[in-house]
A and B are shown apart, each in its own frame.
Chain A
Amino acid sequence: MELQVQLLMNTLQIGSVYVLFALGLTLIFGVMKIVNFAHGTFFTAAALVVTSVMMWSVDTIGMPIWFSYLIAFVMALLVVCVIGFVVYFFGFKYVLKDLNGSFILSIGLLLLLNGTYLILYGGVPRSIPAVIPGNITILGASLTIQRLVLMIVAAIITLGLYILVHRTKLGLSLRAVAEDQEAAMLQGIPYRRVALYGFLIGATLAACAGALMATVTPVTTVIGDDFLVKAFIIIIIGGLGSVLGAILGGLLIALIESFGGYYFDPSTATLAMFVLVVILLIVRPQGILGHAEK
């Protein structure tokens, strides 16, 4: 029982980060009909910014850790928004709805940005001090408070996104554009601006995931790429463009990873995910919650 609770906690904690990451990817796909292979670089950028800001503010200025983390978090989101804005305006703007073109562009960006990070930060992993120290015991399973807070924050962000997409006017235009771009434009929705918003929201979600992840794991310049394959599996399972699908898919993949990784080993768990995808493709090619293909 204790073990299962521990594994379940683990699932929720990995899952919450997966969900944020996959939500960004699926949102960008929904609005722009492109697969962003450079999504991991947003994650990495945020995590790297958090480490450097905290190193500066805690060590040099001596700010309290929680306060400097807040500043670092905001800085990370800002930096990623700027990166997102630049790559949209000088790149993605030209390959909207062009699957092959956007693939190449995002791979080019992946190489360019990862190379730049490596030059700026070097290959040594960096860690930040614990923002909230201490442990907590839930049903016999021990958990650092930090990880609990991470889960809660990720859940709040996910909820916020869900409300944004389903309850606001911007969300309505995002969904309209995802559904049928031309019909949406006929209704007076400015497609390019909505695409930009969708892209920036997606990038910000990856940045949130990265900034949160920096608190619990050492940061390297390729940290975001590890999430990419799993995020792809998640959005295939959940259906491209589906918000709920990304949430369910993320939790499912985290469940397999956590339990499979414990009872067998991590690579068996990854293989199991792929087998799941194969079965799903045979039964339901458009994903659990995806729309039928046109």
Chain B
Amino acid sequence: MLKSNPGLALCILIAIGAICFALFSGDPYYVQVVIWVFANAALAVTLRFVLLIGELNIATAAFFGIGAYTTAVASTILGWPFFISLLAAPVIAGVISSLFGWITLRTKGPYFLLISFAFTEIVRLIYTKTEALGGNSGMIGMFPPMELDAYFPAIAISILAAILFGLYAAERSNLGRVFKAIKNNEDIPRSVGLNVIGLKILCLVIASTAVGLVGGVHAYTNSVIAPADFTYFVAVLALAYVKIGGEGHIVGPIIGATILTLAGQFLHSFGPYENIFYGAIIIGALLLVPGGIVGLGVRFKAGTLMGRAGR
């Protein structure tokens, strides 16, 4: 399989390289940046996974937060061991998302977009009003156990990379094809006897489980979480990664996340100009490069880069 797919082989090599970098590099800052890149890539890829069925799921941000809070509660309040706390995150996120999907996926398009937006803000409101979850200031003290501490960055990157490869495999499977068929015209899969709503819920649950795990990793990486980390803005940035990288292929969001995360490191000092920059880059990418970087690559391959006519 790898011989016929050099791109995949290259991605595996990059992932292994990143894990080795985390194991052997002496500079914690750069290791942290690599983890951010992988975490943002995973966020963007999970957002894109629900785009496969044609829905824009702002609640990606909510399930990211639910995962992080689950791990935080499991490790600090309940005192569960490291790996179990980490695994609780995708489980809880998956359960809540199945309920959320069961209710909301009867709608689609703009309604689903708005509902998932409102859900994200409401979940955040619940954190701020719950004393046990630390209210506005959030929760602290999620640390990996001492004996694993040195290896934690490598573990985090391995988990995040596994999520990326897992979602790639899911997209390439028959299930992934059915998801795309639903996006194209959901009446056709329905006409051959498929339970379209059930499949949509499954798609949402897969993505939310994955992003819940990303949230769990985030809780341990940061050791501090607060409601303000989980606004709808998380999904907006994820969408920016998807759009800039290109949504036609799964590497698009990964490339987008890498570029913008690295660029963001330089922009943190700019205050209000940071948002202006992000706004401008999002608008620019949308209007000038509709297919994203991957789209540019495809056009370049086809030799039509210069001869593009309109949108």
Contacts and interface: CB of A to CB of B under 8 A. Distances in A.
A107 interface: yes
Contacts of A100: 51, 56
Given A236-B115, A236-B118, A271 B125 contact: yes
Give the secondary structure class of A's interface.
helix
A108 B280 contact: yes
B53 to A, nearest CB: 13
A38 to B, nearest CB: 10
B272 A278 contact: no
B129 interface: yes
A286 B112 CA distance: 11
A281 B104 contact: yes
Contacts, number: 110
Nearest to A100: B56
A267 B125 contact: yes
B283 A267 contact: no
Interface stretch (B148-156, B236-244, B300-308): B236-244
Interface residues of A, number: 43
Contacts of A240: 110-111
Most chain B C-beta atoms within 10 Å of own C-beta, residue among A101, A108, A113, A287:
A108
Interface stretch (A7-15, A91-99, A167-175, A182-190): A91-99
A119 interface: yes
Given A115-B273, A235-B114, A281-B103, A267 B129 contact: yes
A27 to B, nearest CB: 14
Given A111-B278, A281-B107, A103 B118 contact: no
B103 A278 contact: yes
Interface string A114-129: 1110110000000000
Nearest to B240: A104
Interface string A260-294: 00000001001100100110011001110000010
B171 interface: no
Nearest to B51: A100
Interface in A67-103: 90-91, 94-95, 99-101, 103
Contacts of A108: 278-283, 286
A232 B276 contact: no
B122 A271 contact: yes
Nearest to A110: B279
Interface residues of B, number: 40
B114 A232 contact: yes
Interface string B267-307: 00000111110111111001100000000000000000000
A103 B56 contact: yes
28 contacts: A29-B110, A35-B114, A91-B287, A94-B287, A99-B113, A104-B286, A105-B287, A108-B278, A108-B281, A109-B283, A111-B275, A111-B279, A111-B282, A112-B275, A113-B279, A115-B274, A115-B276, A116-B276, A118-B272, A119-B273, A229-B118, A232-B117, A270-B125, A271-B126, A274-B119, A278-B103, A281-B103, A281-B106
Given A104-B282, A113-B279, 20 more contacts: A91-B287, A95-B286, A99-B113, A103-B113, A103-B239, A105-B287, A108-B278, A111-B278, A229-B117, A236-B114, A236-B118, A267-B129, A270-B122, A274-B122, A281-B103, A281-B106, A281-B115, A282-B103, A282-B106, A293-B107
Interface of B: 51, 56, 103-104, 106-111, 113-115, 117-119, 121-122, 125-126, 128-129, 236, 239-240, 243, 272-276, 278-283, 286-287, 311
Interface of A: 29, 33, 35, 90-91, 94-95, 99-101, 103-105, 107-116, 118-119, 229, 232-233, 235-236, 240, 267, 270-271, 274, 277-278, 281-282, 285-287, 293
